[in-house]
Amino acid sequence: MKFSVSSCWNSHRHDDGYPMLVELAELGFDYVELSHGTRLSLVPGILKALEEGIIKVSSVHNFCPLPVGVMGAAPNLFEPSSPSRRERILWLNNTLRTLEFAQRVECERVVLHSGRTLFVWRNPEPVFEAAYEVDEGKNSETFQLAREKGLKRLRKKQGSFMKQLKKNYDLLAEKAKDKGVLFGIENREGFTELPMDEEMPNLIDSLKEHGVFGYWHDSGHAQLKERMGLLEHKGFLESLRPNLVGFHLHDVSTEDRDHQVPGTGVIDWDMLAKFVRSDDVVVMEMSPRLSSEQMREGREFLLRTIPALSAS
């Protein structure tokens, strides 16, 4: 078991990666996920802290470190589903840099985003989100109509974007073969982000032959989608558990804010705990707005609630 914390909580506050990792270790964690906010300037201190055994790396989140000149978190800077050949090449090249960095820091997991379906006009996402906000929930007729129309448009439009995504994942697999790293394809919260939740099992199955891809479950994203009537959290997780390679754990407030302290929101943690196994990579991924005390509270809650964590 690798029970970890994401550096997304504090990377923006540090100019040196050494004290950044010391701060995370002092919260009680033995492992860190280096987030998509890892600037190049943080790398020397990170390597020094790892060399001294301050903490170990469970996973890195693409793109890590950030491309030259990029100073803030940018996981969707380049997308593998893009119709632009130049952008797809930049995505592949920078993802391969992340792979090299993962090997350098001796971790075996890389978390990936998969792009989105683009609309020149009549994007269904703002219509869907407006209906959700106005009607205050998923049960109104207006919201259900917006949801079904939006999903229909997505299914019709996504084909060419999914084709590019699959092609680029195949290219990545060729480069990643025998590197000893697994890529976790993360479920996303955005309405137009890929893959559509209903397509995630098919995508994972289509990539299984490569032996380098699995599913990465983000508890907050899945819960937001459940609240919007787009999936059923337990059933979704159950269908993908055989291919799961890691978790991002955080809670969702009643106001639909994610990356909140576990145990303070609407997630059914007793349900989720049943899916966590002793050989998983489990990452607490928290909002930078939370205090150190809240971080400790979240860690202690997860240790109390998830038997596989306390057993490790």
* Domain residue ranges of the chain, discontinuous segments joined by +: 2-117+160-311, 123-157
- Write the single-letter amino acid at 221: H
β-bridge mates for residue 57, sequence order: 32
Distance of alpha carbon 113 from alpha carbon 218, whole angstroms: 12
How far, rounded to the nearest angstrom, does the alpha carbon of residue 41 sit from its chain's CA centroid? Answer: 23
Q: List the pLDDT tens digit at each of the 312 positions of the chain.
A: 799 999 999 999 999 999 999 999 999 999 999 999 999 999 999 999 999 999 999 999 999 999 988 888 889 999 999 999 999 999 999 999 999 999 999 999 999 999 999 998 889 999 888 888 876 556 778 888 889 999 999 999 999 999 999 999 999 999 998 899 999 999 999 999 999 999 999 999 999 999 999 999 999 999 999 998 999 999 999 999 999 999 999 999 999 999 999 999 999 999 999 999 988 999 999 999 999 999 999 999 999 999 999 875
| pLDDT attached to residue 138 | 65
pTM: 0.96
Determine the angle formed by the axes of helices 124-135 and 141-157, rounding to 10 degrees: 160
CA dihedral over 12, 14, 15, 21, signed as positive or negative = negative
Question: What CATH code would you report for 2-117+160-311?
Answer: 3.20.20.150
